[in-house]
Amino acid sequence: MGLEHVWLSYDYLNRGDIDGYASLLDADARLYRPGHQPVLGRASIERLADARQLRGPGRHIVHDVFASDGRVAAMGRFVGKHHGTLVEFDFADLFAVSEFGLLLQQKCYHFVEPG
């Protein structure tokens, strides 16, 4: 359960369809990103996704998605612009899914080359 919603979430974000993306989130969804405070609640996550689109769209190239016991993992590569600068990195996102199949929690992990 939730596997399809994870695939759809990346598809919606890639197309800039923030309303579609938000429709997959539980009202109490939580987003954890490296180096940032947690983003709590569907409305806050939706505002963040919308602001990201304004800063510069990007593309999630998802290689693998798999699920087990209400958890979903996705791995891939992100390519996009952040304030006009090209950014590119591998990612792994871990999701918890509600009993209704909505995305309840997302923890993001990014691989960055050691500098």
User: What pLDDT, on a 0 to 100 scale, did the predictor assign at position 85?
Assistant: 85
User: What pLDDT, on a 0 to 100 scale, did the predictor assign at position 70?
Assistant: 86
| Contact yes or no for 58/80 (Cβ under 8 A) | yes
Residue 87's nearest CA partner among 99, 78, 75, 96 is 78
Residues 71-87, mean pLDDT to the nearest whole number: 90
User: What pLDDT, on a 0 to 100 scale, did the predictor assign at position 112?
Assistant: 77
| Kind plus residue range of the DSSP H or E element containing 2 | none
**Domain limits of the chain?**
3-111
Task: Give the number of other CB atoms < 10 A from CB of residue 98.
Answer: 18
Q: How sure is the predictor about 113, in pLDDT bands with cuts at 50, 70 and 90?
A: confident
Q: pLDDT at residue 39 above 90?
A: yes
> What is the pTM for the complete model shown?
0.91
Q: Which fold has domain 3-111?
A: Nuclear Transport Factor 2; Chain: A, (3.10.450)
Residue 34's nearest CA partner among 95, 86, 88, 112 is 112
